[in-house]
Amino acid sequence: MEDEKKTFKKKDMPIRRLHDNDEEMDQSEMGGEFADLFQDSLRQPQSGEVVKGVVVQIEQDVVLVDVGYKSEGCIRIGEFLDESGDLTVKVGDEVNVYFERGENIRGHMVLSKKKADSQVAWETIAAAGEGGIIEGKITGKVKGGMTVDVGVEAFLPASQVDLRPGGNMDRFVGQTFQFQILKMNRKRGNLVLSRRVLLEAERDKARTETLATLKEGDIVSGQVKNIAEYGAFVDLGGVDGLLHVTDMSWGRLGHPSEMVKVGDTLKVMVLKFDREKGKISLGLKQTVPDPWLNVNDRYHEGERVSGKVVSLTDYGAFISLEDGIEGLVHVSEMSWTRRVRHPSEILKTGEDVEAVILGVDPGNRRISLGLKQTEVNPWTVIGDRYPVGTKIEGQIKNITDFGVFIGIEDGIDGLVHVSDISWTRRVKHPGEMFSKGQTVQAVVLNIDVENERLSLGIKQLAADPWEEIPRKYRPGSRVNGRVTSVTDFGVFLEIEEGIEGLVHVSELSQEKVASPKDFANVGDELEAVVLSVDVVDKKIALSIKSLQTAIDKAEFASYMGSTGEATSSFGDLLKEKLSKKNEE
């Protein structure tokens, strides 16, 4: 506001001046005019009366208004300030004012703009009456509802704000709406309004019109009102339709909120309409062509494609190739070498990836993808790096009952079967000899690319001692050994480290032995004769019974040697014994 006071100059009283050539005014006519003017100057508004006035001056704390009386009226400037504190009038504006009382100590009549507005508003409200419709602006929240400015302050119960009570009512503050008058009491200054009644009437009217024209197959516009786990409710104009999550997209959705949100305006197709029950099923994806209809024209087996990871499951990852088209990378197709337990070990949601199409099945709406196929299969080239016979070194990754797994390179393990651990030692469990994490050497025995298997051997690092056994232990030779095991069918003797022979129960003694356990104990040192050597099955047959015969024959031969040539050799006697045993 300007510091300099603004003033409004009243029009001068009309005065007729007499000129020489003017006709002389009738004295009685002039007297009547002045009398009327004098009466008007003395006329004063009555207390409680609303009159019109003109703003003539704006001061720091008051606004002066001319209402046609001998003195101006004053109104507190606060009655002319809006919510932001800005002045709403200027000099020359015409305003309604309420006459409160005569001149104050400053010689001004006391007026009120606020009371004038209130009185005018109540007259408008009274004219509308209960059930009538008025316009107002929601100004704030109070306990149980909201306040509305309709010229006077009115109360809007929370239940009457919207069709669905509750929610965040702050969004209504500052907005102007039409309201219906529910109750009014001017004497007490009470006014209760409803917006919901008018909304319900509009909804019922729109519902009637919608139901009368709606039919299946129509493409209609609607607004999302609510979202549930299974879909979204769309207001078509006074009537709601259900847009199920399966009808939102040709692709797969985890939740409706991924596709729509409350307040969205959608173009949907009426899929089903039960006029009697008023139930409407809607479809959003049906408004666009089904992308699976010509999927074979766009995607071919063996092609490399790009997409975004949209979902991870225990069995694989879904990749979005385009709107409505997704492919599945099974967990088994994620890595050539790693044993992937869950897709999250390789991928994360939202990640852009490349994959190779393994198969397209339009009928079942499936595209199979492979992630590992974008890289060279290491199993196809491992034979070039590790030919059969190659000596390798690696850490033991795992130990099982049937062998140990040795890490060759990232993701590729080789198996040393328990039978390939030692040429001579009987290994009941690999854990007897090795521990996880231990570094060992082995030899590549076989590569099965198709089944992705690599066979290793540890015993093959050294020569097979059984190749020398037939030469070292010929039939008929005498050996010494330590009892390593006693069974029901015989006694095992270790004749050198890792090399055992079996003395069958029938070869323990020339006399009948009821049980080998009565004959020897583990740890006993015994002497025996080699009966035979089986290199294929790695078995040596021993005999203690034949040892005595050999000793006797040797002594006899020694004796005969002193008297004459022996008639037969020990070898001949042994062959004869074996022949008889085979016949038995």
Domains and CATH numbers, the chain: 48-118 (2.40.50.140), 129-199 (2.40.50.140), 214-287 (2.40.50.140), 291-374 (2.40.50.140), 378-461 (2.40.50.140), 465-559 (2.40.50.140)
Of the given ranges (160-169, 183-192, 556-565), which has the lowest mean pLDDT?
Answer: 556-565
Residue matched to tokens 């040429």 = 423
CA 512 to chain centre: 80
**What pLDDT was estimated at residue 20?**
41
pLDDT at 113 over 90: no
411 neighbors 465 (Cβ within 8 angstroms): no
Q: What is the mean pLDDT of the chain?
A: 83
Q: What is the mean pLDDT of residues 371-396?
A: 89
The answer to whether residues 303 and 293 touch, using CB atoms and an 8 Å cutoff, is no
The whole-number average pLDDT for the span 410-438 is 88
Tell me the residue type at 411: G
Q: Can you tell me the distance from the alpha carbon of 383 to that of 460, in angstroms, rounded to the nearest whole number? A: 19
Question: 43: pLDDT confidence band, cut at 50, 70 and 90?
Answer: low
The fraction of the chain above a pLDDT of 70, given in percent, is: 86
Tokens of residue 412, six digits: 């590729």
Per DSSP, what are the bridge partners of residue 493? 483, 501
Cα–Cα dist 545/568, whole Å: 20
225 phi/psi in degrees, rounded to 5: -100, -35
Mean pLDDT of 216-223: 90
Integer CA distances (angstroms), 112 to 69, 109, 580, in order: 16, 10, 144
Q: pLDDT confidence of 148, banded at 50, 70, 90?
A: very high
Q: Which residues pair with 155 in a beta bridge?
A: 147, 192
pLDDT class for 5, splitting at 50, 70, 90? very low
- Please give the pLDDT value at position 308: 93
pLDDT above 70 (res 229): yes
Q: Which residues contact 212 (CB under 8 A, 6 or more apart)?
A: none
What local confidence, expressed as pLDDT, does residue 196 receive? 92
pLDDT at 297 over 70: yes
Residues 322-341 have pLDDT tens digits of 988 999 999 999 998 888 89
Instruction: Report the distance separating Cα 553 and Cα 568, nearest Å.
Output: 10
Single-letter code of the amino acid located at 283:
G
Question: Of 403, 507, 400, 388, which is closest to residue 449 (Cα–Cα)?
Answer: 388
Q: Average pLDDT, stretch 291-299?
A: 90
User: What DSSP line would sit under 469-532, residue for residue?
Assistant: HHHHS-TT-EEEEEEEEEETTEEEEEEETTEEEEEEGGGS-SS--S-GGGT--TT-EEEEEEEE
Residue 31 has pLDDT above 60, yes or no: no
Mean pLDDT confidence for 132-161: 91
Average pLDDT over residues 249-253: 81
Q: Cβ atoms within 10 A of the Cβ of 424, count?
A: 16
First vs last Cα of the chain: how many Å apart?
137
Handedness of CA 574, 576, 582, 584 (dihedral sign): negative
Assessment of whether the complete model's pTM goes beyond 0.95: no
Over residues 68-78, the mean pLDDT reads 82
Banded pLDDT at 13 (limits 50, 70, 90): very low
What is the distance between the alpha carbons of residues 410 and 431, in angstroms, rounded to a whole number? 24
* Amino acid type, 517: K
- Burial class of 399 by CB neighbour count within 10 A (0 to 12, 13 to 18, 19+): middle
